């Protein structure tokens, strides 16, 4: 979130923790994003020729926590003397836990305050090598 916004007097940008957590996990198929992570009514665009009064960064707004379990499996087989075959598989985010990217910080955007995409999908790498 840049400094191109004004903070509305009397509105707190921070939502109740339970509501913010529920919104972050609630996916809306209409905008293909989560519900707002913070109180979007606390911000408005800065009129022309007026200095913004909002801070450069809102300290209580963070991205989603990274929950990732990685797993690797390797099998090595001796084919004959001096020759070995190695098969390996690496799984990143093995349990495929959803981690959203940060919230949209553009005040004029329709998805302001909402996270738009998953940041770390599951990834699998398989490799094989022959040592001789």
What per-residue string of b and e applies to 58-72 under the rule 16 or more CB within 10 Å gives b?
A: beebeebeeeeeeee
Confidence of residue 61 (pLDDT cuts 50, 70, 90): low
Which comes out higher in pLDDT, residue 3 or 129?
Answer: 129
Which comes out higher in pLDDT, residue 28 or 126?
Answer: 126
The Cα 14–Cα 122 span in angstroms is: 31
Q: Is the model's pLDDT at 29 over the cut of 70?
A: yes
- pLDDT for 55: 64
- Number of structural domains found in the chain: 1
Helices (H), the chain: 17-25
Q: Is the model's pLDDT at 2 over the cut of 50?
A: no
pLDDT tens digits for 68-115? 889 999 999 999 999 999 999 999 988 888 777 777 777 777 777 777
Verdict on whether the full-model pTM lies above 0.85 = no
Q: How many CB atoms lie within 10 A of CB 49?
A: 5
Residue 37, burial from CB neighbour count under 10 angstroms (0-12, 13-18, 19+): buried
**Of 10, 11, 107, 99, which is closest to residue 62 (Cα–Cα)?**
99
The Cα 41–Cα 38 span in angstroms is: 9
The Cα 62–Cα 103 span in angstroms is: 8
The Cα 61–Cα 1 span in angstroms is: 10
Instruction: Spell out where the chain has E strands.
Output: 5-7, 27-28, 33-34, 43-45, 71-80, 83-92, 123-131
Question: Which residue range is the domain that position 34 belongs to?
Answer: 5-131
């Amino acid at each position: 979130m840049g400094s191109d916004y004004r903070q509305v007097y009397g509105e707190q940008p921070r939502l109740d923790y339970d509501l913010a957590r529920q919104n972050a996990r609630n996916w809306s198929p209409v905008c293909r994003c989560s519900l707002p992570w913070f109180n979007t009514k606390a911000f408005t665009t800065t009129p022309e020729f007026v200095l913004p009064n909002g801070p450069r960064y809102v300290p209580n707004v963070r991205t989603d926590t990274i929950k990732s379990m990685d797993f690797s499996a390797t099998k090595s087989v001796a084919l004959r003397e001096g020759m070995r075959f190695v098969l390996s598989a690496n799984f990143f985010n093995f349990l495929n836990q959803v981690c959203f990217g940060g919230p949209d910080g553009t005040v004029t955007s329709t998805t302001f305050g909402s996270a738009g995409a998953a940041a770390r999908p599951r990834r699998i790498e398989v490799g094989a090598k022959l040592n001789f």
